Amino acid sequence: MSDRISDLGTEDEKRILDTLRATPGMPSSAARTRAAAALGIGVAVAAKTTIAGAVTSAGAASLAKAAPIGIFSTLTAKVVGGTMIALAVSGIVVERSFSHHNASPADSSSAREARASRVPTGASAARAEDVPPAASSTNTDEPRPPAAVEFAPIANVVSAPKLEDAPVVATEAKRSDPSESRKQTEASRTTKPDDERALAGPAKNALAGEVPIADRPSREAQKPLDSATPPSKTEMPAAAPRDSGFERELLALQSAKKSVRAGDAKGALEILSGRFQFFEVEADVARIEALLSLGDRTRARELAKAVLQEHSDVPQAERLRALIRGSE
Amino acid sequence: MAAALSIDARSTADLDDEIDGQFAHGPERKERAPTRCTVRELFDAHFDALWGRARRLGLSDAEADDAAQEAFLVASKKILEIESGREAPFLFRTLTFVVRNLQRSAARRYERPVGFDEASLDSDSSAVPADAQLVRKEERELAETVIAELELDLRVVFVMNELEGFSMRQISEWLDLPPGTVASRLRRAREEFRAIVKRRVR
């Protein structure tokens, strides 16, 4: 006979269990998008939103950095070849990618930490493009389009200097033979000094996770939400030298939420001081959360009301209404 | 204030080690072929469910976001180690390790992000009178407090059995635990749950 509390419990116990059963709900679309990006399966997301090279790059960047911790073992030689192509085209140090391949677990942890917190730059984002989505990467039988065609647009997006020999490497990297890929690895290592020279400037900074303020997107184009929260001069995750608003916003949003959770609400508000086009409501919700964290319920309520006036049917609407009710 | 629940590099490495150890199968275990699912297929099929399980285990929305994402990152690393047909158990076990890691990082059981999650407690109650909302909110808080007070190992089997309807045999298979261990944990979980409810509900 079952002695489950659900069957034999007291009324109080059953009531609590019923409440717990009703708890979960569903993850927000932003959470799904963020997780997909972190997994390197943001391609479909980007395709659905028809924003080329946006989330895709962030997600693939994560995958590329996750390579040393096991994913790479699942990638085929074609993927390795694809990696070489994109790296060459975008002017990124190829050696860096392959150093992941042989990296220690400790390195991989650092990479993941960096992935979680670091600003994806144009360079790193371009590096990310080299790894195809996980869904297709594990299927060695799936044909891939010609590499030069596939990765050509990246060169237009990335501001990093290009390697002189990029076309040659890209052509050779089309081969799917693993031994060829390995040869390319060795070849790329030998070109490291030139690559490093080529990376002097924004790209090198980008690889190091340090983007000069001068390279950041113009703040004039981003109207601050609130004059009381001036644009950040410290950490703006959107500081990528590429024109990818979607990606910038996604990472800024992620960073802001982390800041709030870490108790740095002011920092979060600074990060959120720019205009959000793709994640407008999510950014407002994050601002509200930050304001609540600061104890400024009045401004939080006002902002919530404003959001509801403009977007009464968004998924967060009920939360916002509850907030307004709770603060009146 | 909100707890900093970020998983730092050190703790993530610890998590990897722990997962490697926990997923090492004994010699008696029947080997299965690795999963044929891609990461994307896993994500599409299991993300929402895993997120819901994270919430049932007592995490806030934001924590569940992080935990589910981390579990999938681990799964993506170990995709070749996931046995065919056991993708969901793998993800769930990974989630439990992630939750444990989050708890260690937070150095305390559960601390909810300030303010906004409280508002979200009433997220489905726009047409409910204010007093009823208050009651509902209090019940939700009580329920989450009770579940959070359970030790994690006990909480996992309790949630699986009482909230999700898993049989003890299924729990044993999912968690790779001997049936006796599951039965023992479940019995202790029920005793603790009853004690906590008795203490909390006057």
Per the CB < 8 Å rule, is A28 touching B65? yes
Residues A99 and A126 in one domain: yes
Per the CB < 8 Å rule, is A19 touching B139? yes
pLDDT for B16 equals 52
Model confidence at B73: pLDDT above 50: yes
What total of structural domains would you count in chain A?
2
- List CB contacts (< 8 A) between A323 and chain B: 116, 119
- List CB contacts (< 8 A) between B130 and chain A: 325
- Which residue of chain B is at minimal alpha-carbon distance from A42? B40
What is the secondary structure of chain B as a DSSP string? --------HHHHHHHHHHHHHHTPPPTTSPP-PBP---HHHHHHHHHHHHHHHHHHTT--HHHHHHHHHHHHHHHHHTGGGSBTT-HHHHHHHHHHHHHHHHHHHHTSS--PPSSHHHHHTTTT-TTS-HHHHHHHHHHHHHHHHHHHHS-HHHHHHHIIIIIT---HHHHHHHHT--HHHHHHHHHHHHHHHHHHHHHH--
Residues A176 and A286 in one domain: no
pLDDT for B172 equals 92
pLDDT for B32 equals 67
Residues A61 and A134 in one domain: yes
* Residues lower than pLDDT 50 in chain A: 1, 43-242
Is A215 part of a structural domain of the chain?
A: no
Q: Which of residues 5-34 of B touch A (CB under 8 A)?
A: 5-10, 12-13, 16
Q: Which of residues 47-86 of B touch A (CB under 8 A)?
A: 47-48, 51-53, 55-56, 61-62, 64-65, 68-69, 72-73, 76-80
pLDDT for B155 equals 93
Q: What is the mean pLDDT of chain B?
A: 76
Q: How many CB atoms lie within 10 A of CB A220?
A: 7
Residues A268 and A164 in one domain: no
pLDDT in tens, B97-145: 988 888 777 654 444 443 344 444 444 445 666 777 777 778 888 888 8
Residues A54 and A124 in one domain: yes
- List CB contacts (< 8 A) between B47 and chain A: 27, 32, 35
Q: Show the domains of chain B with their CATH numbers.
A: 1-110 (no CATH), 128-202 (1.10.10.10)
Is A20 part of a structural domain of the chain?
A: no
- Which residue of chain A is at minimal alpha-carbon distance from B196? A13
| Model confidence, pTM | 0.43
- Which residue of chain A is at minimal alpha-carbon distance from B133? A322
What is the secondary structure of A115-136 as a DSSP string? HHHSPP-HHHHHHHHTSPPHHH
Residues A193 and A161 in one domain: yes
Are A259 and A267 spatial neighbours (Cβ–Cβ below 8 Å)?
A: yes
Residues A166 and A62 in one domain: yes
Name the residue facing B68 among A35, A321, A322 (closest C-beta).
A35
Are A61 and A121 spatial neighbours (Cβ–Cβ below 8 Å)?
A: no
Instruction: Write down which residue in A163, A181, A207 finishes a domain.
Output: A207
CA atoms of A296 and A316, how far apart (whole Å)? 20
**Widest CA span of chain A, in angstroms?**
76
Is A292 part of a structural domain of the chain?
A: yes
Cβ-Cβ pairs closer than 8 A, A with B, add up to: 204
Model confidence at B1: pLDDT above 70: no
β-sheet bridge partners, residue B83: B34
Is A155 part of a structural domain of the chain?
A: yes
Is A136 part of a structural domain of the chain?
A: yes
Q: Which domain covers residue A252, as residue numbers?
A: 223-327
Is A167 part of a structural domain of the chain?
A: yes
Residues A152 and A281 in one domain: no
Residues A152 and A233 in one domain: no
Per the CB < 8 Å rule, is A20 touching B56? yes
Percent of chain B's residues with pLDDT above 90: 19
Phi, psi of B34 (to 5 degrees): -65, 155
pLDDT in tens, B138-184: 888 888 888 888 999 999 999 999 988 899 999 998 998 999 999 99
* Contact with chain A for residue B202, Cβ under 8 A: no
| Shortest alpha-carbon distance between residue A25 and chain B (Å) | 7
Are A267 and A77 spatial neighbours (Cβ–Cβ below 8 Å)?
A: no
- Which residue type, as a one-letter code, is found at position A272? L
pLDDT in tens, B83-92: 888 888 999 9
Instruction: Write down which residue in A155, A178, A207 finishes a domain.
Output: A207
Instruction: Write down which residue in A207, A240, A270 finishes a domain.
Output: A207
- Which residue of chain A is at minimal alpha-carbon distance from B194? A13
Q: How many CB atoms lie within 10 A of CB B119?
A: 24
Which residues fall within 8 angstroms of residue B117, CB to CB, at 6 or more apart?
B60, B61, B62
* Contact with chain B for residue A71, Cβ under 8 A: yes
Candidates A243, A248, A322, A309; CA nearest to A281 is A309
- List CB contacts (< 8 A) between A260 and chain B: 2, 113
pLDDT for A200 equals 38
pLDDT for A69 equals 38
Residues A42 and A191 in one domain: yes
Per the CB < 8 Å rule, is A292 touching B114? yes
CA atoms of B173 and B176, how far apart (whole Å)? 5
Instruction: Give the C-alpha distances (Å, rounded to integers) separating A27 from A15, A23, A30.
Output: 24, 12, 8
| Shortest alpha-carbon distance between residue A220 and chain B (Å) | 31
CATH code, A236: 1.25.40
Instruction: Give the C-alpha distances (Å, rounded to integers) separating A150 from A147, A310, B119.
Output: 5, 39, 46
Is A24 part of a structural domain of the chain?
A: no
Q: Is the ipTM of this complex over 0.95?
A: no
pLDDT for A233 equals 39
Are B111 and B59 spatial neighbours (Cβ–Cβ below 8 Å)?
A: no
Residues A33 and A119 in one domain: yes
- List CB contacts (< 8 A) between A139 and chain B: 38
pLDDT for A110 equals 39
Residues A184 and A236 in one domain: no
- List CB contacts (< 8 A) between B79 and chain A: 70-71, 74, 134, 138
Is A14 part of a structural domain of the chain?
A: no
